[in-house]
């Protein structure tokens, strides 16, 4: 039986097409900064909202190249194609490009913000 870590390492993320999970709303401001809105659901969150004044919605602010990558995730282009666009925009600043991009997409998938489909 394979471990989850080995499965993740054996995936060639460049061949996958990421798709945003529609549950999460997002916006991009004039400067290009992306904010993802996450609704805090569940009994624990309702208790925290009522008694500790926790927000009903959390905001996740992306940073750096993530602000450029997030709008590219449209369910149509592969991670490899995203890398080409990142390279065009950021050049050497993005290196090591595909390792970083694959890890970024893996993290987004792990947190449930995107799903991956094969080409």
Tens-level pLDDT at each residue, the chain (119 residues): 445 554 554 567 788 999 999 999 999 999 999 999 998 877 776 777 678 777 778 899 999 999 999 999 999 999 999 999 999 999 999 999 999 999 999 999 999 999 999 88
Cα(109)–Cα(35) distance, rounded to whole angstroms? Answer: 17
Give domain 4-118's CATH number out of 3.90.930.60, 1.10.10.10, 3.40.50.2300, 3.30.365.10: 3.90.930.60
Mention every residue, 6+ apart, whose C-beta is less than 8 A from residue 33: 61, 62, 67
Alpha-carbon span 3 to 86, nearest angstrom? 31
């Amino acid at each position: 039986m394979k471990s989850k870590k080995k499965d993740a390492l054996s995936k060639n993320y460049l061949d996958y097409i990421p798709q945003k999970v529609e549950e999460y709303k997002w916006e991009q401001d004039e400067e290009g900064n992306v904010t993802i809105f996450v609704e805090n659901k569940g009994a624990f969150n309702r208790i925290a909202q009522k008694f500790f004044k926790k927000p009903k919605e959390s905001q996740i602010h992306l940073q750096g190249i993530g602000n450029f990558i997030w709008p590219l995730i449209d369910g149509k282009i592969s991670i490899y194609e995203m890398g080409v666009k990142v390279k065009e925009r950021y050049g050497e600043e993005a290196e090591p490009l595909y390792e970083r991009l694959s890890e970024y997409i893996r993290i987004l998938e792990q947190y449930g913000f995107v799903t991956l489909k094969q080409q």
